[in-house]
Amino acid sequence: MSVPHVSLTASQHRLLAELAQAALPSPSREPAYAAARGLDPQRVAADVPDLLWMKLVSDTDGLLSLTLLGAAVFHRAAQEEAERRLADVSAFAAALESRPAPAGGPDRAPYALRKLAQGEFSLDEALSCLS
């Protein structure tokens, strides 16, 4: 089964992240629980209807929890964000590599960083380029 691409607001993503850790009493019943977890109870109350409609969360007797689909969507979004960050790290390393070489010879650190970010080097291999 493929996981659908779902556009989430920042607050919806944050709520899914919290629900991935543990269920949460509905903020309409227990607003203090949402606040204690760093969530805005009013924002949560506004986000829940959409998340229920998308079947990403369930509300059972006032307890919000992540559905299997919600967990899949959350983890897919987290993976895509990690991939974007890794691509940025690799692009930064490429920019470092394109700089003029220092007087003492080529700088191997950007090369090692890019290879590590691309998964071509282990951490030990990347660190060995620094010595």
Do the beta carbons of residue 47 and residue 59 sit within 8 Å? no
Whole-number Å distance between alpha carbons of 52 and 64: 9
The residue that leads in pLDDT, 56 or 109, is 56
- CATH number for the domain spanning 52: value is 1.10.10
Which residue, 38, 55, 73, sits at the end of a domain? 73
14 and 67, same domain (yes or no): yes
- Whether residues 29 and 60 share a domain: the answer is yes
Domain span at 52? 10-73
Pick the more confident residue, 30 or 4: 30
Q: Are 23 and 63 in contact (CB under 8 A)?
A: yes
Instruction: Look at residues 34, 19, 24, 14 and name the one whose alpha carbon lies nearest to residue 69.
Output: 19
Both 62 and 92 in one domain: the answer is: no
Are residues 50 and 103 both part of a single domain?
no
Q: How far apart are CA 125 and CA 120, in angstroms?
A: 9
- Looking at the structure of the chain, the number of domains it has is 2
Rounded Cα–Cα distance for residues 101 and 108 (Å): 10
Contacts of 127 by beta carbon, 8 Å cutoff, 6+ apart: 112
Give the tens place of pLDDT for each residue, 30-70.
Answer: 888 888 999 999 999 999 999 999 999 999 999 999 999 99
Question: Do residue 55 and residue 88 come from a single domain?
Answer: no
1 has pLDDT over 70: no
Write the DSSP assignment of the chain as a string of letters: -PPPP----HHHHHHHHHHHH--EE-TTT-HHHHHHTT--HHHHHHHHHHHHHTTSEEEETTEEEE-HHHHHHHHHHHHHHHHHHHHHHHHHHHHHHTSPPPTTS--HHHHHHHHHHTTSS-HHHHHHTT-
Rounded mean pLDDT, 75-83:
90
Q: Does residue 69 sit in the same domain as residue 22? A: yes
Residue 40 lies in a domain: yes
